[in-house]
Amino acid sequence: MSDYTDLISEQLYIDGWTDGTSERTATTVNPFNDESIATIRQASKEDVDKAYDVAQQRQPAWAALPPKDRAAVMNKAADFIEENFDAVVALIQTESASTAIKASIEAGLAIGSLRESAQFPTLITGTILPSNTPGKTNYVFREPLGVVGVISPWNFPFALSMRSVAPALACGNAVVLKPASDTPLVGGLLLGKIFEAAGLPQGVLGVVVGAGSEIGDHFVENEVPSLISFTGSTPVGQNVGVKAVGGKRMKKVALELGGNAPLVILDDADMEQAVGAATLGKFLHQGQICMAVNRIIVQAPVYDEFVEKLTERVRTLTYGNQLDPTTVVGPLINDQQVQSVTAKIEKAREEGARELLSGPIEGRVVAPHLFADVTPDMELFREEIFGPVVGIIKADDEEHALELANDTQFGLASAVYTRDLARGMAFARRIEAGMTHVNDITVNDEAHVMFGGEKNSGLGRFNGQWAIDAFTTEHWVGVAPGQAHFPF
């Protein structure tokens, strides 16, 4: 395993590296064996205020730089990750309980976000519009928001922090980032290291590590940020939205929240492809992905065949230490997640789901669990699982499959398998979700394509032009010749 020592900091990143001033300290650990990685003095409310104040002071000069200079920082940050790729992957693996393949995917996504964002400074355009006032011209300028607050999750901490931080910076904003408490290094302080090395002016990015109970609400309610970008669970995101809009200064919000992704297998699907998609889409990163397959809906004529083949495939998956290169399913992030997933397994048994496959629960490692004959009234159908557990539901026909797919409060990712692409497209467009894939897994993210959900899966869109829209605002400047005759 590559040495990631140089990528670790035990200080906050506020106008340079500095110790936190909270009375609390926190030690981040390898979730598999609780081995210590770093101990960090936490941020206080005063540290949050300082980070925002410094960001507000430094933002105008950063926004005033020529587009090529902001683009250069984005590209240099991407270069840094590429040059230190193995060490970055190793740190992601260790702190966030990621297998090698997941950590490599995540590092690649972060690079993609940076390369895409490097184009944004020259893609920000305005509009000139005519006026009904003689001699007047209407200009609509697209300007940075100012300061953006970012709260990132623990499941894809590096990629999902970068997905907000990189475009916000590229658009001329300053950013203050609060990573999840389980992943303060790869979700936060590592970005400080990267952007410092890339030449980002000091203070334009701040990273505050702290307990949500101490600084969470204050981070959102501070009057400096114009937008709060939050990625995480729906209940917490709803609270963030209320506090962001209901405070002394109303803020914009970008919320990427929970999911209950359906994978629909129609009766003409390629069975090997469908089984492969179900396996990868469910068990990548132990199912701890908002886009992970959460329900598998199979049309009746192929139900038994699919159940048999999926059981055979999942039975071969290895589980254990995420640092073992042969491991497919590693540990869950913390004890709370283990308790939640274990409770869902027990509930599925109580409610009468047919258990196809189970295995041991040792420490934080939960072996893959499969259940068949799941019905819409069961918890396994209705709730996001966020673990290596999945239920299979039989659909009477195509319309019933669609009804089942849409029977949820969430609408993030979804997928459908069929050999008939026209049929697949028609079916996909009727799924109530922000993202649907035909003959592909639910877990998809491309830096130039919009990302976001419907219903209780969030507000707003990330990536590409949608990120420019999210991290800028429009300003109408009307210019008249000064020759008007006013009636009074």
DSSP 255-313: EE----EEEEE-TT--HHHHHHHHHHHHHGGGG-STTSEEEEEEEHHHHHHHHHHHHHH
Question: CA–CA separation, 274 vs 260, rounded Å?
Answer: 18
Q: How distant, in Å, are the alpha carbons of 139, 173, 232, 438 from that of 143?
A: 12, 9, 28, 37
Structure tokens at 221: 């309610």
In a domain, 483, yes or no: no
Same domain, 265 and 126: no
Same domain, 307 and 191: no
Same domain, 463 and 424: no
Q: Tell me, what's the pLDDT at 247?
A: 81
In a domain, 485, yes or no: no
Judging by beta carbons within 10 Å of its beta carbon (0-12, 13-18, 19+), is residue 80 exposed, middle or buried?
buried
151 in the Ramachandran plot: left (φ > 0), alpha (ψ -120 to 50) or beta? beta
Q: Tell me, what's the pLDDT at 248?
A: 83
> What b/e string do you get for 167-193 counting C-beta neighbours within 10 Å, with b at 16 or more?
bbbbbbbbbbbbbbbbbbbbbbbbbbb
Q: Phi then psi for 153, rounded to 5 degrees?
A: -95, 180
Under the banding of pLDDT at 50, 70 and 90, the label for residue 484 is confident
What mean pLDDT is predicted for residues 401-413?
98
What is the CATH number for 116?
A: 3.40.605.10
Same domain, 348 and 207: no
| Cα atoms in the 13 Å half-sphere on the side-chain side of 430 | 17
At position 26, the amino acid (one-letter code) is A
Question: CA–CA separation, 457 vs 225, rounded Å?
Answer: 23
Cα-Cα-Cα-Cα dihedral sign, residues 373, 377, 379, 385 = positive
Residues composing the chain: 488
pLDDT of 1 higher than 80: no
> What b/e string do you get for 20-40 counting C-beta neighbours within 10 Å, with b at 16 or more?
bebeeebebbbbbeeeebbeb
What is the CATH number for 376?
A: 3.40.309.10
Same domain, 253 and 272: no
Contacts 24+ apart (CB under 8 A), 127-132: 131/478, 131/480
Same domain, 269 and 250: no
The model's pLDDT over 230-252, given as tens digits with 9 standing for 90+, comes to: 999 999 999 999 999 988 889 99
In a domain, 397, yes or no: yes
Question: CA–CA separation, 481 vs 20, rounded Å?
Answer: 54
What mean pLDDT is predicted for residues 172-194?
98
Under the banding of pLDDT at 50, 70 and 90, the label for residue 109 is very high
The model's pLDDT over 462-476, given as tens digits with 9 standing for 90+, comes to: 999 999 999 999 999
In a domain, 445, yes or no: no
80 in the Ramachandran plot: left (φ > 0), alpha (ψ -120 to 50) or beta? alpha
In a domain, 46, yes or no: yes
Of the candidates 462, 405, 480, 414, the residue with the CA atom closest to the CA atom of residue 161: 462
Tally Cβ neighbours within 10 Å of residue 214: 17
The model's pLDDT over 74-95, given as tens digits with 9 standing for 90+, comes to: 999 999 999 999 999 999 999 9
Percent of the chain residues past pLDDT 70, beyond the cut: 100
In a domain, 484, yes or no: no
Q: Phi then psi for 85, rounded to 5 degrees?
A: -55, -50
CB proximity list for 286: less than 8 A, separation 6 or greater: 97, 329, 330, 331, 332, 366, 387, 388
Give how far the C-alpha of residue 343 lies from the chain's centroid of Cα atoms, to the nearest Å: 25
Helix (H) or strand (E) holding 457: none
Q: Tell me, what's the pLDDT at 485?
A: 82
Same domain, 240 and 319: no
Q: Tell me, what's the pLDDT at 483?
A: 86
Question: CA–CA separation, 24 vs 207, rounded Å?
Answer: 17
Same domain, 161 and 175: yes
Question: CA–CA separation, 437 vs 414, rounded Å?
Answer: 6
Tally Cβ neighbours within 10 Å of residue 213: 9
In a domain, 486, yes or no: no
The model's pLDDT over 17-44, given as tens digits with 9 standing for 90+, comes to: 999 999 999 999 999 999 999 999 999 9
Question: CA–CA separation, 121 vs 88, rounded Å?
Answer: 27
Q: Tell me, what's the pLDDT at 486?
A: 86
254 in the Ramachandran plot: left (φ > 0), alpha (ψ -120 to 50) or beta? beta
At position 386, the amino acid (one-letter code) is F
Three-state secondary-structure class, residue 92: helix
Active site residues: 256
The model's pLDDT over 320-356, given as tens digits with 9 standing for 90+, comes to: 999 999 999 999 999 999 999 999 999 999 999 999 9
Same domain, 253 and 386: no
Same domain, 203 and 274: no
Q: Tell me, what's the pLDDT at 434?
A: 97
Give how far the C-alpha of residue 433 lies from the chain's centroid of Cα atoms, to the nearest Å: 16
Same domain, 148 and 87: yes
Domain holding 353, by residue range, is: 261-438
- Report the predicted TM-score, pTM, of the whole model to 2 decimal places: 0.96
Q: What is the 3-state secondary structure (H, E, C) of 336-349?
A: HHHHHHHHHHHHHH
pLDDT of 159 higher than 80: yes
In a domain, 191, yes or no: yes
Of the candidates 367, 230, 222, the residue with the CA atom closest to the CA atom of residue 287: 367
Q: Phi then psi for 139, rounded to 5 degrees?
A: -110, 135
What mean pLDDT is predicted for residues 139-159?
98
Under the banding of pLDDT at 50, 70 and 90, the label for residue 2 is confident
The model's pLDDT over 377-402, given as tens digits with 9 standing for 90+, comes to: 999 999 999 999 999 999 999 999 99
What mean pLDDT is predicted for residues 281-307?
98
* pLDDT, mean over the chain: 97
Same domain, 397 and 464: no
CB proximity list for 291: less than 8 A, separation 6 or greater: 259, 261, 412, 413, 435, 442, 443, 444, 445
What mean pLDDT is predicted for residues 243-265?
94
Report the domain count for the chain: 2
